[in-house]
Amino acid sequence: MRHSISGGARRSWLTGAALIAAAALPLGAQGTGNGYLFGAPTGGVTIRGGWYIARAGSQFYQDAIRDFNVDKSDFSAPTFGADFALRLSPRFDVTFDGAWSSVNRNTHYRDFVDNNNQEIEQSTSLKRVPLTVNLKAYLSSRGRSVGRLAYIPSKVVPWVGLGAGTTWYNLKQSGDFINPTTTAVFTDHLETSGWGPAAQGMGGVDVTLTPRIALTGDARYLWSRAEMSDSYDGYDKIDLSGASIALGVTFRL
């Protein structure tokens, strides 16, 4: 029963011929990993996009789900990220990565309307930016050298990784709210932001498309919580943890 309340130099001809021959390798051969590079890559850049699934396990979410017409799934959102990798050895990289996700929901109270029988409405937005340094291990060979110069990337290479870092967040709620003591309706803008420590596990697979480019499937889970302050002073730490699944493109350097 709902209650009514008021209120992102010139070269020799031999070198030139070699470069032209490399560029002219058949597309089918490159797609099967038969193209080659002049030496093993020293690193890479990955750009990815996918979906972030929020764990939403702290007091803020519990209160929001109790009072407003939202569920845990409403705090999940698209995510976009980028990684920069430096090669440590044939099987290990160190990576520096960041991601961004943002959710914005229009909400209203579940059980109350105003004295005109209208919804008591507000908007909720939450931005989340994890930044981590990771050790990435490849579970099979990334490629093989042929002679002194040519390097042939493997077609499919699975990998796993562990990392740590920090997460920045920004939470805003604007609109009309009910004073729990007087039941009066008032208009306000609530906001908090901050940083919290983070750790993550990840895994995926690289599928070579050309010697320089790979398709990357990426799955990861991030553990992170941060203090709430300002308008939310007194709340428990906000849960910024969650899983993400993404598809990206890796450019070998």
How far is residue 203's CA from residue 252's CA, in Å, rounded to a whole number?
Answer: 18
Does the reported pTM lie above 0.85? no
pLDDT given at position 5: 57
Task: Tell me the three-class secondary structure of the chain, residue by residue.
Answer: CCEEECCCCCCCHHHHHHHHHHHCCCHHHHHCCCCCEECCCCEEEEEEEEEEEECCCCHHHHHHHHHECCCHHHHCEEEEEEEEEEEEECCEEEEEEEEEEEEEEEEEEEEEEECCCCEEEEEEEEEEEEEEEEEEEECCCCEEEECCCEEEECCEEEEEEEEEEEEEEEEEEEEEEECCCCCCEEEEEEEEEEEEEEEEEEEEEEEECCCCEEEEEEEEEEEEEECCCHHHCCCCCEECCEEEEEEEEEEEC
pLDDT single digits (tens) 135-186: 999 999 999 998 778 999 999 999 999 999 999 999 999 999 999 889 899 9
How far is residue 44's CA from residue 8's CA, in Å, rounded to a whole number?
Answer: 17
Nearest to 219 by CA among 58, 81, 42: 81
pLDDT given at position 38: 87
pLDDT given at position 8: 38
Average pLDDT along the chain, 253 residues, taken 10 residues at a time: 50 36 36 66 97 97 96 97 97 98 97 93 97 98 89 96 98 95 94 98 97 97 97 96 98 96
How far is residue 164's CA from residue 223's CA, in Å, rounded to a whole number?
Answer: 9
Q: Which CATH class is domain 9-252?
A: mainly beta
pLDDT given at position 216: 98
